[in-house]
Amino acid sequence: MRTLFLTLLAGVCLTGWAFASEDPIEKWSEHHPEASKLLGDWVKAHPAAAARFFEWDGHHPKRTQEFVTWTIEHPAERVNAYISLHPKEPYLDEIIKAHRLATEEFMVWSRDHAKATRALMAHSKALEWAGQHLYKAYWHIEEAVN
């Protein structure tokens, strides 16, 4: 019984620490240059989708963290599986309606660079921050409205 309790306790702690990071967000790109470059390439290729993701993260950082965690932990699943498990996520649903391919590509990036993605997402509103500080030249917020 004690072993079961300790196992469950460890699982809860690890889930809570899934995005724990001691690295400052300002150093993320420097510490993960390949992932940073490829995320920038994604932003360039999908500026309107990127704007929507940055906006979503700015308003609902825990939901974006949950989405990214699920994405990494379910490598064979596509975005429809996440939506079916989280039907009360209308913001992501709206993003997917307009930007399904970009969303799937973001998921691939998250999985291919799981360590870097976790390090970035350890910070609340990390995608919003990255959009404003690392990739600002590649997208425009007004594109999210269209």
Q: How do residues 78-98 score in pLDDT, each as one tens digit?
A: 999 999 999 888 899 999 999
Indicate the residue type of 123: H
pLDDT at residue 7 tops 80? no
Q: pLDDT band at 139, cuts 50/70/90?
A: confident
What token pair was written down for 122? 């350890």
> Token digits for 35?
């992932």
Confidence class of residue 12 from pLDDT cuts 50, 70 and 90?
A: very low
Q: Give me the pLDDT at residue 90, please.
A: 84
Angle between helices 90-112 and 47-59 (to 10 degrees): 110
* Bigger pLDDT: 146 vs 96: 96
pLDDT at 35 over 50: yes
Q: Would you state the structure tokens that stand for residue 113, as one six-digit string?
A: 């660079």
pLDDT of residue 95: 95
| Identity of the amino acid at 89 | E
- pLDDT at residue 11 greater than cutoff 50: no
> Does the pTM exceed 0.85?
no
